Amino acid sequence: MVRLRAFRATDDIESSQKFIEGHTRVLTSVGVTKVTSNKHEWMERDSVFVLVVEDMEGNEVLGGARIHVYDGKNPLPVEEATGYMDEKVQPFIAGYGSKGTGEICGLWNSRKVAGMGFGSVFLTRAAVSLTTQIGINSLFALCAPYTVSTAARFGYDIVEHIGNNGTFYYPKLDLLATFMLLPDTNALETARKLEKDKISEMRNDPMIVVSERTKISTIDIHYDLQLNIPNLEEFHIE
């Protein structure tokens, strides 16, 4: 039994710090030390929203992800990671930014919940559901090869005119990353019906409790996705 909770980064610095520590441990364990999305400045931005998987007491963060909203001032992590390799990246993102866009990044999970789907499915599902609260209409992602098919379940497409048919060597030369876009987070036109239904449930009840069957067990997930932020409806980009 775990909780999957969402908050704005600046509203819970302690949990944001736990996120960073856990994510850094995971990256270091696989030999990755330089990832643009792992810079820590995001803790000071109102335009960053965090999802954490934690035990029910909230003492340990077992995984997480972030949504960086395009604010017209700070580049999205995917832009920092790939923009210097392809000049088309920045204007392409800016085109979606005028209508409200963002990026899901920094997905990770600890060994305690490895194989349960938190590092891909459950966190992505929760992140997409949050876009209606935040008020953004599309989502970018830079996906490792093993997560491309998972992203496609939610309606993400490979942006083939960016990079080398949508791919870049990142975060190091022997690792490949795919530039992907979910063009309409509201309609989810090409998402699987299962994902549409799950996301619709979360949007209707952000505090829903769901029993999920994973590869290794069945687990109860207590979702806490109601963003209790004053004047959130006035949140906008510049």
Q: What is the pLDDT of residues 10-22, one digit of tens each?
A: 999 999 999 999 8
The two three-digit tokens of residue 5, written as one number: 């909770």
Residue 96 vs residue 119, higher pLDDT = 96
Instruction: Give pLDDT, residue 27.
Output: 73
Strand 176-182 versus strand 138-143 pairing type: antiparallel
Is the pLDDT score of 117 beyond 70? no
153, 191 contact by CB (below 8 A): yes
List of residues 6+ apart from 64 with CB closer than 8 A: 19, 22, 23, 50, 51, 52, 53, 106, 107, 108, 123
pTM for this entry: 0.90
DSSP state of 164: B
Phi, psi torsion values for 211, nearest 5 degrees: -95, 115
Is the pLDDT score of 5 beyond 90? yes
Is the pLDDT score of 232 beyond 80? no
CATH 3.40.120.10 fits 2-234, yes or no: no
Instruction: Give pLDDT, residue 31.
Output: 61
Instruction: Give pLDDT, residue 140.
Output: 98
Strand partners, 212: 219
Under the banding of pLDDT at 50, 70 and 90, the label for residue 29 is low
